């Protein structure tokens, strides 16, 4: 498989984590969102939505949209599962993932931030305040939920889909200097995950297209 990815894309980051947790072999194909490679004729022929990530399968088919990719991975490669097996608990985990993917991430992605700055001419401090507002509002529900976990991770002693969605969003919060002091459970979860190979390998600083100044 080939994952078309951008090192700082939250959506691509979550797919990189899931591929690592499932120990699935894949190659990373960088797509530079800043320079507009996602709008090139070659990329659009593969993914007409012009977004990352896209996952090219061995069959020749290409999947777009991170949530669809992750659900396909879970169904096509069910072991290890990234969801609990009990149906009600699985639905609760999916709900939290959708909260991140639908209620937090879209308000703070590159297209939105560029529109705020380039088109609406907001100052950087205003754009940063917008970003922090939606992160902090969204993280409030997550903080309460993961504080109720009995063990270290959402699946007991193992991370799952919740961590795959959450950790990239935490990375972006740090990148925009969002105050996370009100979210100690989220901060602790992030620290635990960063010690695991799947998360370390998927980190933006470990990607081949990461600019040298952002490697740390």
Instruction: Pinpoint the residues of the chain covered by CATH 1.20.1050.10.
Output: 87-200
Identify the CATH assignment for 87-200 out of 1.20.1050.10, 3.40.50.10790, 1.10.10.10, 1.10.287.610.
1.20.1050.10
Q: How far apart are the first and last CA of the chain?
A: 28
Closest CA to 112 of 85, 81, 134: 134
Q: State the Cα–Cα distance between residues 113 and 62, nearest whole angstrom.
A: 28
Q: pLDDT tens across 93-139, in order?
A: 999 999 999 988 777 777 777 877 888 887 888 888 888 888 899 99
What is 2-80's CATH superfamily?
A: Glutaredoxin (3.40.30.10)
Q: pLDDT tens across 147-203, in order?
A: 888 888 999 999 999 999 999 999 999 988 899 999 999 999 999 999 999 999 999
pLDDT at residue 11 in the model: 94
Residue whose entry in the numeric block shows the structure tokens 């799952």: 160
Instruction: Pinpoint the residues of the chain covered by CATH 3.40.30.10.
Output: 2-80
- The model's pTM: 0.91
The percentage of residues in the chain with a pLDDT greater than 70, rounded to a whole number, is 99
pLDDT at residue 119 in the model: 83
């Amino acid at each position: 498989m080939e994952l078309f990815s951008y090192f700082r894309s939250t959506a691509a980051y979550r797919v990189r984590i899931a591929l690592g947790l499932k120990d699935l072999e894949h190659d990373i194909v960088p797509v530079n969102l800043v320079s507009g490679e996602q709008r090139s004729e070659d990329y659009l022929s593969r993914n007409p939505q012009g977004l990352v990530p896209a996952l090219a399968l061995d069959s020749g088919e290409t999947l777009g949209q991170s949530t669809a990719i992750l659900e396909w991975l879970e169904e096509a490669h069910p072991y290890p599962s990234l969801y609990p097996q009990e149906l009600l608990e699985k639905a609760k985990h999916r709900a939290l993932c959708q909260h991140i993917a639908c209620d937090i991430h879209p308000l703070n992605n590159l297209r939105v931030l560029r529109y705020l700055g380039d088109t609406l001419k907001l100052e950087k401090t205003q754009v940063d305040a917008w970003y922090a507002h939606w992160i902090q509002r969204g993280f409030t529900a997550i903080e309460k939920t993961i504080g109720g976990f009995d063990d270290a991770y959402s699946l007991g002693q193992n991370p799952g889909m919740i961590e795959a969605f959450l950790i990239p969003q935490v990375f972006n919060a740090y990148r925009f200097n969002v105050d996370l002091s009100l979210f100690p459970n989220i901060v602790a979860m992030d620290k635990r995950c960063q010690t695991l190979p799947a998360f370390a390998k998927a980190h933006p600083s470990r990607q081949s297209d990461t600019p040298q100044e952002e490697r740390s």
